[in-house]
Structure 1
């Protein structure tokens, strides 16, 4: 007999399923409880509020997406240089972005909410700290402070492009266009 999943995990997974198929404004506490097979009151018990549950689910979903990206980069560029891994990551993010648009839209909403909600801000900040290290590891940028900073910049690049594409798919910069744009930026960056 396998161990039973916790009610908390059921709520997170149910929330992620809701985010995949519903616009964020239709993801209510009742919809999440129904999708999760959990009691409505368990949302408050485990998370304090629906917004905190959604934020935690977004972080879990983003962690899973990054793990998926890492696996695909490993498959596309096994033993590759950081440049090859970055190039593979561009392609992988492009391939997987549309599968995670609901998650990304809710992430954008959580970013806006964080400006007015300390608990949401704290959850997101912790997620960003962990993700910077994970991005640095996936791209093999190093485990030192400079590697973590580089991971943060790469994350900002991918998040920023993701947010722009959510606003208008015509704003998406993908594939070789990213490489050319980065080469142009590299030409104006100070050295040292």
Structure 2
């Protein structure tokens, strides 16, 4: 690897170990074996490097979980079972990298302080919706139509964010796939407040 990739890998390690706020340029240099001047040369600034590392980690997670869920999916399963399986798979994927999901929440908290961070997030938001649609539908991102991404993708993305925040707060209280499917069914049927035992 060259200095550019070394810096990126070092920044990833620092993000996981120290988070966004506590990571310094010197931390990244120590973790990467590169020199301080190379951050400016290759990325322009420490924040730009951190942002690139964060985005790369997010893409790698998406690719990995997409492959895992696609391999576990049963194409013949009823729709409700498929959605429940995807939700359970997503929640299970959180446990393999609690630090990563903690960093995600920390980075969200920095959006008001870093306009470039907000702009980058806004720029990739459509891709996030597309990616979530692909994961829930079990297809490649390229097969997701724009309208599906705009509508269902927005819902899937909102569901996903809610799942990982609830999981971060209390993993044992995170909803199961069956809970989510039942909740969706009751919302659409207008029976949210009805007692199922009645």
2: CA distance, partners of 1:168 / 1:44: 40
The verdict on how the C-alpha distance between 1:95 and 1:125 changes in structure 2, with shifts beyond 3 A counting, is same
Match of 2:32 among 32, 36, 40: 36
The verdict on how the C-alpha distance between 1:54 and 1:168 changes in structure 2, with shifts beyond 3 A counting, is farther
Q: Is 1:18 equivalent to 2:14 in the alignment?
A: yes
Q: Which residue of 2 aligns with 1:155?
A: 157
The verdict on how the C-alpha distance between 1:185 and 1:38 changes in structure 2, with shifts beyond 3 A counting, is farther
Q: Which runs of 4+ in 1 moved over 6 A?
A: none
Where structure 2 has 5 or more consecutive residues not aligned to the other structure, the ranges are 192-198
Where structure 1 has 5 or more consecutive residues not aligned to the other structure, the ranges are none
Q: Which residue of 2 aligns with 1:165?
A: 167
TM-align CA RMSD: 2.7
Larger Rg: 2
Deviation of 1:77 (Å): 1.1
2: CA distance, partners of 1:155 / 1:8: 31
Q: Which moved more, 1:85-94 or 1:21-30?
A: 21-30
Q: Deviations over 1:90-139 (max 9, x none)?
A: 12212210222222222222222222322111221223222222222233
Deviation of 1:81 (Å): 6.7
